[in-house]
Amino acid sequence: MESLRLTSLSWEELNALLAEWGERPFRAKQIWSWLYVKLARSLEEMSDVSAALRARLSAVALPLMPQPLAHQIAADGTEKWLLALLDGAQIETVYIPDVDRGTLCVSSQVGCTLSCSFCHTGTQRLLRNLQAGEIVEQVTFARAELAARGLKVTNVVLMGMGEPLYNYDAVVKAVRILLNGSGLAIGTRKITLSTAGVVPKLVQVGWDLGINMAISLHSVRDAVRDQLIPLNRKHNLAALQEAIRAFPLKHGRAITWEYLLLKGVNDSLQDARELVQFIGDIPSKVNLITFNPWPGCPYEPTSRENTLRFQEIICQAKIVTVIRDSRGADIAAACGQLRSECGGGVREVVAGR
């Protein structure tokens, strides 16, 4: 039998596998609980699973969690792990603590193909898609690590390395595992998927998952957005707007528009007015993001004064607008910095339990 990644199995697939092996149905419940409630790091911890079944699983099952290579903690409490996958590839996962929640930013690909000009992550070539279990294991790993210090993962955002909608099947399967009420039990309101605008999959993911949607927008002028997000040349703003209007938005939810303010590029008051016009009557929230410069980048962050003026125009249109604090920039854990090499002046904990 081929190697088995238990965390890539849906609830139905786990039940089917164990039934094929002649195991009774309660065994699936036991294993599911060990994986997603008790957060077992190894099969040996599954003490109420029969020795014979553990031995059979051990013969084919892959490790239950990735190997941490490094762990950094920023001055604001943001944490970042560099995780090694079984083939030697590496990804980064970020935890952002807040007063009433703990948000985990997970990756969906090793590298990225989008080549967004403002994003340091996008300067790294795509190595491969992550498997569903490799996405799920970022959550189980972080929950296990943080629980030992009394911290919780309450929210998950698919905003790490990669474009989630370019790894559609694995992302959908992983999110369904996160949603399962007998395991990790993270609700649809607590999971957000961010896309640069992969229009053909955008509406479909809404029907398939019912989670929150964030759009990496950054300009409502095609000429500007073409430069910032080359994907716009394939799926332009008109196509993106049409898809969002068809998105199955649940009652009381809103589309989140991510807007990175770049000095002299997209931060004029006219840009703000055009953003309001683009949004129109779509239930929306706008996140204004501070740019995190990186070596060799051609952009500069807009001033705080200009950010406030930009925000005021959006607020006047009765659109909820938040200036999103840059979290973890001192450990290169902020927006667009994952797997980059800028940062410093932080507490660093090298993994090695």
Helix, coil or strand: residue 328: coil
- Kindly state the DSSP code that residue 156 receives in the 8-state scheme: E
DSSP 130: P
One of 105, 112, 116, 335 is an active-site residue; which one?
Answer: 335
- DSSP per-residue string spanning 47-107: TTS-HHHHHHHHHHBPPSSPEEEEEEE-TTS-EEEEEE-TTS-EEEEEEEE-SS-EEEE--
Pairing of strands 128-129, 109-110: antiparallel
The residue with tokens 């009420």 is 181
- b/e per residue, 283-292, with b = 16+ CB within 10 A? ebbbbbbbbb
Burial (Cβ within 10 Å: 0-12, 13-18, ≥19) of residue 344: exposed
With vertex at residue 343, the alpha carbon angle to CA 153 and CA 83, rounded to the nearest 5 degrees, is: 45
274 an active-site residue?
no
Distance CA 339, CA 330 (A): 13
Per the document, the length of the chain is 353
- Active-site annotation holder among 92, 145, 163, 258: 92
DSSP for 203-254, written as a single string: HHHHHHH--EEEEE---SSHHHHHHH-GGGGTS-HHHHHHHHHHS-PPTT--
Distances from the Cα of 300 to the Cα of 263, 303, 305, 343, angstroms: 5, 9, 14, 17
Please name every residue paired with 191 in a beta bridge, in sequence order, or none if there are none: 156
Q: Known catalytic residues?
A: 92, 335
